[in-house]
C-alpha cells in the first residue's frame, strides 16, 4: 500500500491502516486492492456500511481472498442475515466443508428454525454414512 499516496499520508498522520484503506477506497487501483490480504478484507467487510458503493466490491474481493473452511466460516458468520450475500456465503461454506468436524460445526451452528438445518442434516448424514461404508 506504500504506493497509494492518500493512504500513506493518512497512516503518517496516525490513522489506522485499515481505516485509511476504507476512506481512500475509491483512490485504490485494482492492483492495490488485489494486494490486500484476507485479514484486511475481514476488517473492511465488518466496517463497510451496508448501503455503500464499496460494499459489493469488498464482498467480491473478500470471497476471492478466502482460502479454506475457516475463512468461509468467518464470512458466513459475519454476513448480516438481512444482506443479500447471506445465501451466497452459505453456498460457499457448504462447498468448503470436507471433514466430519466441519460438517458437525455446520450442524451445531445452524438454527433449527432455518431452512439450512434440513440441508445440513442431509449433508451430515451423507458424510457419516460415507465413513461407515469406507
Q: What is the pTM of this model?
A: 0.85
The DSSP-derived string for 96-122 is: H--SHHHHHHHHHHS-TTSTHHHHHHH
**And the C-alpha cell for 78?**
459475519
pLDDT tens-digit series, residues 19-33: 999 999 999 999 999
What pLDDT does 1 receive? 54
**75-82 contact pairs (CB < 8 A, 24+):** 75/45, 77/109, 78/42, 78/45, 78/46, 80/50, 82/50
Length of the chain: 134
pLDDT in tens, 47-98: 999 888 899 999 999 999 999 999 999 999 999 888 789 999 999 999 999 8
Amino acid at each position: 500500500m506504500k504506493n497509494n499516496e492518500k493512504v500513506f499520508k493518512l497512516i503518517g498522520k496516525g490513522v489506522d491502516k485499515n481505516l485509511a484503506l476504507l476512506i481512500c477506497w475509491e483512490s485504490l487501483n485494482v492492483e492495490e486492492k488485489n494486494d490486500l490480504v484476507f485479514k484486511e478484507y475481514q476488517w473492511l467487510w465488518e466496517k463497510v456500511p451496508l448501503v455503500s458503493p464499496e460494499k459489493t466490491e469488498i464482498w467480491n474481493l473478500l470471497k476471492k481472498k478466502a482460502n479454506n473452511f475457516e475463512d468461509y466460516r468467518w464470512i458466513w458468520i459475519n454476513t448480516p442475515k438481512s444482506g443479500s450475500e447471506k445465501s451466497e456465503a452459505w453456498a460457499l461454506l457448504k462447498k468448503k466443508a470436507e471433514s466430519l468436524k466441519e460438517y458437525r460445526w455446520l450442524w451445531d451452528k445452524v438454527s433449527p428454525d432455518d431452512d439450512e438445518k434440513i440441508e445440513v442434516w442431509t449433508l451430515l448424514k451423507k458424510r457419516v454414512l460415507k465413513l461407515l461404508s469406507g
